[in-house]
Structure 1
Amino acid sequence: MRNTIMKTRNPRNLRPLPRTAGFTLMEMIAVIVLLGIVITIVGGGMMNTFGGGKWKAGTIQVKKLAGAVEQYQMAVGSYPNSLEDLTKREGLGPYAKDTDLKDPFGHPFAYKKPGDAGRDFDIVFLGKDGKPGGDSTDKDYGSWE
């Protein structure tokens, strides 16, 4: 009778099984956490940028309104008593729309006739908070600047 020896595989010769395509749960969680951190950092910076953009738009709107006041004065012969006069059909008007009389934050522009320091008029953008004074996007901006 013949002895049959059962052959076994030597563990040193075993190759690891090929890994199937895909990600483990831990890898997916790590990627989601990292994406959340990046979005939080970038999103916070973007919100500050948008606020600054509105402030800049407010300063441009002041210059536009100052030009409308000057046009009104040339056509009518006197400066308007209020910014609302720019929306009426006086002279060649209207010189502005109702929506032009509010800043990008929804506050009305301040108008003073005569203005300070010998100016004919002043238009003031009071910033995001709509109150005099402040820093950053709450800072005021006048038509004389």
Structure 2
Amino acid sequence: MEKRLEEKYQNKNRGFTLIEVLVVLIILGLIAALVVPRITGRVDEAKIETTKIQLKAIKDALEQYKLDNGRYPTTEQGLKALVEKPTTPPIPPRWKKYMDKVPRDGWDREFIYLSPGVKHPYELRSKGPDGEEGTEDDIDVWEL
């Protein structure tokens, strides 16, 4: 009887074998391989949508600026002209604060603003996920 109790007691203190630990780690790795891409894909989608919303808000503010002042801010004045009255010519005659702050894209980078633009009165875009200007993933306000 004592032998059985000793064997039982010894088996209860027995830990996991290396094989058991490896099997658990492999299972956790497979689960992570399935879940992580789905989560990161959603993050990228959210950043793209955020950027589009910011572009639309800036576009609305630029249109209001033009209605009040008869022109868009110059490239030199930049989007900062929507937050602070420009000090470089042409000084807007009826300036007011159009935004609380100049937004940044979903990747925390500044938007590209050129005025006058090539095909439009101004160019406004984000470099997109890759952070390089002129690639196919750029997000342009005129293509929303």
Residue segments in structure 2 that go unaligned for 5+ positions in a row: 1-14, 86-91
1:54 is displaced (CA, Å) by: 0.5
The residue that corresponds to 1:60 in the other structure is 53
**Equivalent residue letter for 2:40:** M
Normalising by structure 2, report the TM-score: 0.68
Deviations for 1:91-116, whole angstroms, at most 9, x for unmatched residues?
4632123341x212122111111122
The residue that corresponds to 2:29 in the other structure is 36
The 2-side partners of 1:133 and 1:76 are apart by: 31
Question: Could you say which structure has the larger radius of gyration?
Answer: 1
The SS at the match of 1:144 is helix
1:39 is displaced (CA, Å) by: 2.0
TM-align CA RMSD:
2.8
Deviations for 1:9-65, whole angstroms, at most 9, x for unmatched residues?
xxxxxxxxxxxxxxx946964445313321232112211220222122112211111
Q: Identify which of 128, 131, 140 aligns with 1:142.
A: 140
CA contact (8 A) 2:79 2:102 kept: no
Compare relative contact order (CA 8 Å, sep 6+) and give the higher one, 1 or 2: 2
**Equivalent residue letter for 1:140:** D
Q: Identify which of 68, 93, 97 aligns with 2:96.
A: 93
Paired residue total: 121
The residue that corresponds to 2:128 in the other structure is 127
Q: 2:105 matched to 1:103?
A: yes
User: Do the aligned partners of residues 72 and 99 (structure 1) sit closer, same or farther apart at CA in structure 2, a change above 3 Å counting?
Assistant: closer
**Equivalent residue letter for 1:74:** L
The 2-side partners of 1:46 and 1:106 are apart by: 20
User: Do the aligned partners of residues 41 and 134 (structure 1) sit closer, same or farther apart at CA in structure 2, a change above 3 Å counting?
Assistant: farther
Identical residues among aligned pairs (%): 26
Residue segments in structure 1 that go unaligned for 5+ positions in a row: 1-23
The residue that corresponds to 2:9 in the other structure is none
The 1-side partners of 2:37 and 2:139 are apart by: 25
